[in-house]
Structure 1
Amino acid sequence: MAINRIAFYHLETLLWIARLGTFAAAAARLNTTQPAISARVRELEGHLGTALFRREGRTMALTPAGRELVRESEPLWARFQGVLMGCSDISGATGVVRIGAGEIAAASCLPGFVAALGRDLPRVSLEIDVALTADLIQQLASGHADIAFAAGRVSHPMLQTAAIGGVDLLWLTSPMILDRIGGDTPIWSLSNLSPLYRIMKEAIAASRLAEWPVNLCNNVRAMIDIVLAGGGIGIFPEPMVRHHVAEGRLAPLPDAPAMPQIEFHAAIRAAEADPLILTVFDRASRLDLRATA
């Protein structure tokens, strides 16, 4: 067995395939090609004298030998990365960090956070994906994202979270229809694919507007544009409409029902061991949206 020919990149490749499930995903993560990933796997299997993967449909499943190697190598790899990072200035860290965020989180959490990361970790590249919360959780659990910012409570056995504060929700309409709002004026709410749907539904049901028509949309910015055009009443996160209110393009709804804040959480995999990802998560967990509102 040619142990002396096994390099760290062989183990890194193995661990990312095991996490992401395909050679193509591992190649994208490691900024290389799928043939290069296949070559590394063949080299590692050749040095060890055993198969590490078997194909199951479109994914690569670990063999028993592969599972054992992953289980034993993961803590060693994390420790090695920690040693390297501990021996160097964190500002010199390199790599790609994939950040997922819901639409509201992207407007509320990301701008300042990303700008600060760029200043402090100039050699780290960021890939940001704005998606629905359910998709973010799946991407995070599967290893396709490293950290996520989501509205509402994130509950998943494979994830750990940190609360980072809340954002106010406002009932708003266009001043052009403010004096003729009535029972036939539509209320715009996020769809049931959003964790905010329940908050909005309960608030509407408990208000004097309970019998008014409700329209659903899965995009906050589209709802804002509709209400700006005089298309009804909306319930919006304050950071996304702040400038419209300041400019008088949106006005508060008189006698509007009280709304709870949207709570935000940062999340990573519970088993995450990459020092760079843990550093980014630590910074995320110290965010306080209330201090920046």
Structure 2
Amino acid sequence: MIGHAFTLKQLEALVWVADLGSFRKAAAHLNTTQPNISSRIAGLEETLGVVLMQRDAGAVRLTDKGREILAAARETLRQAEQLVTVAARPDLIADRLRLGVTELVACTWLHAYLRALKSAYPGVTVELTVDLSRNLDKELSSRALDLTVQTAPFASPASGVVELGDFPYVWVGTKTILSGLPDHPVVADLLPHSILTHARHTQAYQELTDHAAANGLSMARIAPSNSMASCVQMAQDDMGVTLLPLALVEKEIAEGSLQVADVDWHPSPLRFAARYQAERVAPYVARCAALAIDALADYQKARG
């Protein structure tokens, strides 16, 4: 038996310094001080009698033996979490979950999801990032996020993926604007007005501009925005017709401030997925990803 030769906190420090590439960032993530992290690593090195990492010009580089021990440390931490799972004590898991979501999630079912996470893991603190899917993709790839709820297409692979379904788009505008359109308009009929929609780098914007180009339509009135909520407000203020996911404007449609336009063309539905790197995150993150399914289903049920 190795007794108290080293601690889980020392192994945890090793993993986060390796993943974040910085003692300072590891300390911030673990809610402690940089000297404390340095002390944990030094204590682990002294106990094991090996050099685990070297600092080069502010960067951290694992030694060959350090990489071997890192892999063993990850497995040890996973097994420790398994003990908690077997004992049915998820409340003993204390961690900081770096969660990234898109604006659509933030404006619709995020709060239901956060409540589900809090209920399942009361000791876990959620650090939330709301951003464009392409930016979330980059942060997941660079290990700056543990879990993302984002839309396809994905620029980088993830070893853990929970599919959350497709979200269709809808054209909406005020009664004032739509009353001047044909009953079944084509995209060309909308061009006297501004078309308010997703940011330039999104799939919906690309498909819309491709459609316009293929039909010889002017793109001068297509107005992309990084804020879908702003598009909704601008549409309500008669500043144009907007093309957005139906889930984002269901309330406005129900209240009558916006109406659906039966336009002949729509972009592909948004494909949503919860994504994580299974080999790097704690096992509970996979459960958090799966909880997104239930949270979304509860939200959709409540919305009818």
What TM-score range do you get, normalising by the shorter chain? 0.7 to 0.9
Greater mean alpha carbon deviation, residues 150-159 or residues 232-241 = 150-159
- Asked if 1:190 is matched to 2:198, the reply is yes
Q: Scaled by the length of structure 2, what TM-score is found?
A: 0.84
Greater mean alpha carbon deviation, residues 197-206 or residues 24-33 = 197-206
Paired residue for 2:161?
Answer: 161
- Asked if 1:281 is matched to 2:289, the reply is yes
Give, in whole Å, the separation in 1 of the partners of 2:212 and 2:197.
Answer: 9
Paired residue for 1:221?
Answer: 229
Paired residue for 2:23?
Answer: 23
Q: Alignment identity in percent?
A: 24
Q: CA contact under 8 A between 1:52 and 1:65: conserved in structure 2?
A: yes
Distance 1:220 1:291, change over 3 A: closer
Distance 1:10 1:291, change over 3 A: same
The number of residues matched between the two structures is: 292
Choose the corresponding residue for 1:241, options 224, 245, 249: 249
Distance 1:110 1:58, change over 3 A: farther
Report 1:82-231 matches (<5 A): 82-154=82-154, 156-180=156-180, 183-202=191-210, 204=212, 213-231=221-239
Give, in whole Å, the separation in 1 of the partners of 2:219 and 2:120.
Answer: 52
Paired residue for 1:261?
Answer: 269
Q: CA contact under 8 A between 2:100 and 2:131: conserved in structure 1?
A: yes
Using the TM superposition, give the Cα deviation of residue 267 of structure 1 relative to its aligned residue in structure 2, in angstroms: 0.5
Distance 1:272 1:46, change over 3 A: closer
Paired residue for 1:66?
Answer: 66
Q: Scaled by the length of structure 1, what TM-score is found?
A: 0.86
Using the TM superposition, give the Cα deviation of residue 268 of structure 1 relative to its aligned residue in structure 2, in angstroms: 0.8
Using the TM superposition, give the Cα deviation of residue 221 of structure 1 relative to its aligned residue in structure 2, in angstroms: 1.2
Greater mean alpha carbon deviation, residues 119-128 or residues 234-243 = 119-128
Using the TM superposition, give the Cα deviation of residue 101 of structure 1 relative to its aligned residue in structure 2, in angstroms: 0.6
SS of 2:170's equivalent in the other structure is strand
Using the TM superposition, give the Cα deviation of residue 130 of structure 1 relative to its aligned residue in structure 2, in angstroms: 0.4
> 1:95-116 CA deviation, whole Å, 9 max, x = no partner?
2222111112323442322222
Using the TM superposition, give the Cα deviation of residue 13 of structure 1 relative to its aligned residue in structure 2, in angstroms: 0.4
In angstroms, what is the RMSD of aligned CA positions? Answer: 2.8
Give, in whole Å, the separation in 2 of the partners of 1:256 and 1:163.
Answer: 28
Q: CA contact under 8 A between 1:194 and 1:218: conserved in structure 2?
A: no
Using the TM superposition, give the Cα deviation of residue 207 of structure 1 relative to its aligned residue in structure 2, in angstroms: 7.0
> 1:10-34 CA deviation, whole Å, 9 max, x = no partner?
1110011111111122112211111
Q: CA contact under 8 A between 2:116 and 2:295: conserved in structure 1?
A: no
Greater mean alpha carbon deviation, residues 25-34 or residues 200-209 = 200-209
Paired residue for 1:81?
Answer: 81
Extract unaligned runs of 5+ from structure 1. none
Give, in whole Å, the separation in 2 of the partners of 1:215 and 1:191.
Answer: 9
Amino acid at match of 1:43: G
Distance 1:51 1:194, change over 3 A: same
> 1:76-119 CA deviation, whole Å, 9 max, x = no partner?
22112212332233355432222111112323442322222223
Paired residue for 1:47?
Answer: 47
Extract unaligned runs of 5+ from structure 2. 182-188
Q: CA contact under 8 A between 1:78 and 1:273: conserved in structure 2?
A: no
